[in-house]
């Protein structure tokens, strides 16, 4: 406990962390508000694709603004100054504000994460991803709702002298921190592996990865806040140390809002900076596949054209039947080449075919009858298209969010 002589120390009385509380609460809120409003404008005006995720993010944003206002209001009741200068009346009012802050804090963390999950439901529509997302949403609900109820009922102010029955060392703070950190971590490991395979422009992929990876900053903020709460519990100057709680709470809340809003502002960014976040890429997997098989067909057409002038170069299929006991396959893919001198440049046949045809063929000789077939390996093509279809759909959905 500080010496009572400090009450008469003007320098000690002049010390203040009020600017830290104000800056630490206002700046994160302003930055998050910019991204939330950009998101809402993109969804409501530009793409007209308003969804449930927008509702959840809007609720979180309003609750976050309320917390920022409460954080700034704390400074009127002793927070940011040394505790020995706080009056009993100020303590009662501060604790009442803390009661509402804790309810809003638990609420905004839950609604923000539900909003992120709803956004992922719009992008990742395969069965496995949807099962994972719904499981996460159930887990978020199962711990968020009881925590809000617990704080609302257990921490309700009783009277002015002892305004609350729970304090900063209540178990809800630790349960909330652990559960929210776990969910943030699970959301990161869910989305990153699903973004990496997408065939989108490198700068867009990097931007998306940076945005979702910022959830790690939310995890760091939650951990730091938890450590600050633990220090606050044993503090002898709580009103002074309370500045750390308000700052890291604001960072955690508004980082979540930023991560929930940033992926959805692409339509607005595309309007302001055309081409910067374009998903155009050089050649996608499907494009490469199509180009490959188009080239195969072109070769066949070229070979047919060349055959009209006496030069052939294409894939053939042996139609000669294999006699019993013969060596060789009886059916083999053969590349035949014939120039104007009637020389075979390359031939792979069964032994029976070579016995009949001999090593040369020319005018008056036996001519092998063949059928030309260009196989596009339909099964492989369908499998490749199927594996790439979901990637294309995800890209399209990312374009529309």
| pLDDT tens-place string over residues 341-359 | 444 444 444 444 343 334 4
Cα–Cα distances in angstroms (integers) from residue 239 to residues 60, 89, 122, 150, 157, in the given order: 27, 14, 44, 25, 19
**Whether 114 contacts 136, CB under 8 Å:** no
Q: 3-class DSSP state for residue 318?
A: strand
Report the candidate in 287, 298, 268 with the shortest Cα–Cα distance to residue 374: 298
Residue with tokens 């002074």: 240
**Whether 255 contacts 33, CB under 8 Å:** no
Q: Exposed, middle or buried: residue 120 (CB in 10 Å: 0-12, 13-18, 19+)? A: buried
DSSP 163-194: --S--TT-HHHHHHHHHHHHHHHHHHHHHHHH
CA gyration radius, the chain: 35
Residues 6+ apart with CB under 8 A from 186: 136
Residue with tokens 């509380």: 21
> Residues for the chain: how many in total?
401
DSSP 73-130: HHGGGTTTS-GGG--HHHHHHHHHHHHHHHHHHHHHHHHHHHHHHHHHHHH--SHHHH
Residue 302 φ/ψ region, left for φ over 0, alpha for ψ in the -120 to 50 degree band, beta for the rest: alpha
Domain 9-282 top-level CATH class: mainly alpha
Residues of the chain with pLDDT > 90: what percent? 37
Its sign, for the CA torsion 250, 213, 47, 109, is negative
Low-confidence ranges of the chain (pLDDT < 50): 1, 159-164, 279-379, 383-384
DSSP 292-318: HHHHHHHHHHHHHHHHTTT-EEEEEEE
- Please report the pLDDT score of residue 392 as a whole number: 56
- Please report the pLDDT score of residue 297 as a whole number: 41
Strand partners, 344: 338
User: For residue 331, what are its two tokens?
Assistant: 């059916």
From the DSSP assignment, how many helices (H) and strands (E) are in the chain? Answer: 13, 3
- Please report the pLDDT score of residue 58 as a whole number: 96
Say what the pTM is: 0.67
**Whether 30 contacts 68, CB under 8 Å:** no
**Whether 126 contacts 133, CB under 8 Å:** no
Its sign, for the CA torsion 60, 65, 70, 72, is positive
Strand partners, 336: 314
| pLDDT tens-place string over residues 200-243 | 778 778 877 887 777 788 899 899 999 998 888 888 898 999 99
Q: 3-class DSSP state for residue 156?
A: coil
Any idea where the domains of the chain sit in the sequence?
A: 9-282, 285-378
- Helices 171-195 & 202-213, crossing angle to 10 degrees? 170
CA distance linking residue 24 with residue 259, whole number of Å: 19
The strand pair at 312-318 and 333-338 is best described as antiparallel
Cα–Cα distances in angstroms (integers) from residue 361 to residues 162, 321, 338, 343, in the given order: 109, 20, 10, 7
Helix segments in 214-284, DSSP class H: 215-233, 238-261, 266-272
CA distance linking residue 130 with residue 118, whole number of Å: 10
| pLDDT tens-place string over residues 248-288 | 999 999 999 998 898 888 888 888 876 555 544 433 444 44
**Whether 266 contacts 192, CB under 8 Å:** no
CA distance linking residue 336 with residue 348, whole number of Å: 8
């Amino acid at each position: 406990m500080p010496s009572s002589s400090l009450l008469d120390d003007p320098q000690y009385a002049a010390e203040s962390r009020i600017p830290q509380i104000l800056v630490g609460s206002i700046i994160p809120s302003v930055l998050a508000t910019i991204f939330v409003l950009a998101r809402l404008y993109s969804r409501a005006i530009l793409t007209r694709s308003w969804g449930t995720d927008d509702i959840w993010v809007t609720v979180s944003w309003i609750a976050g603004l309320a917390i920022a206002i409460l954080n700034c209001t704390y400074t009127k009741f002793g927070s940011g100054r040394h505790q020995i200068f706080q009056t009993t009346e100020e303590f009662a009012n501060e604790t009442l504000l803390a009661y509402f802050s804790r309810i809003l804090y638990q609420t905004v963390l839950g609604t923000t994460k539900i909003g992120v999950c709803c956004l992922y439901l719009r992008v990742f529509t395969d069965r496995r991803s949807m099962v994972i997302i719904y499981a996460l949403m159930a887990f978020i609900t199962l711990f968020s709702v009881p925590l809000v109820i617990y704080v609302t009922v257990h921490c309700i102010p009783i009277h002015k002298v002892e305004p609350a029955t729970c304090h900063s060392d209540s178990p809800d703070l630790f349960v909330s921190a652990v559960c929210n950190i776990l969910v943030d971590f699970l959301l990161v490991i869910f989305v990153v592996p699903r973004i990496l395979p997408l065939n989108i422009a490198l700068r867009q992929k990097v931007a998306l990865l940076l945005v979702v990876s910022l959830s790690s900053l939310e995890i760091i903020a939650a951990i730091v806040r938890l450590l600050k709460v633990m220090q606050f519990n044993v503090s002898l100057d709580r009103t002074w140390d309370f500045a750390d709680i308000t700052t890291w709470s604001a960072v955690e809340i508004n980082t979540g809002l930023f991560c929930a809003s940033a992926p959805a502002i692409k339509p607005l960014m595309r309007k302001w900076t055309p081409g910067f976040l374009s998903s155009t890429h050089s050649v996608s997997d499907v494009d490469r596949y199509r180009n490959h098989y188009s080239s195969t067909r072109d070769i066949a057409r070229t070979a047919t054209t060349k055959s009209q002038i006496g030069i052939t170069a294409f894939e053939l299929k042996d139609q000669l039947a294999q006699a019993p006991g013969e060596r060789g396959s009886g059916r083999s893919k053969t590349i035949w080449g014939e120039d104007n001198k009637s020389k075979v440049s390359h031939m792979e046949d069964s032994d029976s075919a070579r016995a009949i045809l001999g090593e040369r063929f020319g005018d008056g000789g036996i001519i092998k009858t063949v059928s030309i077939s260009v196989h596009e390996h339909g099964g492989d093509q369908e499998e490749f298209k199927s594996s790439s279809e979901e990637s294309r759909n995800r890209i399209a959905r990312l374009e529309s969010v």
